[in-house]
Amino acid sequence: MSFLSLLFSGHPQKSDHITILDKASFKAAISSKNITLIDVRTPREYLSGHIKNAVNIDYFDTSNFIKAINGYDKEQPIYIYCRSGNRSQKAARKLDSIGFKNIFDLKGGYMNWN
């Protein structure tokens, strides 16, 4: 990625372990049977609507988030989303920092999903 695109986008679209997917790519990827799909929104947001088969792990509940997320295999792909994409970007960076290797983030979040 060029310096200018990084400068103007505010964040890269892909790091070594994080890939941001558009809606179509994300939808195709999660149609697999053995995937981990995490909704990092609050329980209230999750209850108002979520992607089928998503597990809710609230990113803002820091101690529980780390504890719950550490229960997943760090080598397996993990798909995450939030409301708009901002929180899931932070969650993706957190997952990367604790050793997850294949992180996929829904661009635009749940707002983009509907």
- If one counts the domains in the chain, the total is 1
- Phi-psi domain of 38 (left: phi exceeds 0; alpha: psi -120 through 50; beta: other): beta
pLDDT number for residue 37: 98
- In this structure, which long-range contacts are made by residues 52-60, counting pairs with CB atoms below 8 Å and at least 24 apart in sequence? 54/81, 59/87, 59/88, 59/90, 59/91, 59/94, 60/87
pLDDT number for residue 14: 56
pLDDT number for residue 15: 66
pLDDT of the chain along its 114 residues, tens only? 443 343 334 444 556 899 999 999 999 999 987 899 999 999 999 999 999 999 999 999 999 999 999 999 999 999 999 999 999 999 999 999 999 999 999 999 999 998
pLDDT number for residue 2: 42
CATH of residue 61's domain is 3.40.250.10
Candidates 82, 91, 95, 106; catalytic one: 82
Q: 34 lies in a domain?
A: yes
- Catalytic annotation present for 82: yes
Q: 7 lies in a domain?
A: no
Which regions of 62-111 does DSSP assign to beta strands (E)?
Answer: 78-81, 103-106
Domain containing 41 equals: 12-113
Q: 1 lies in a domain?
A: no
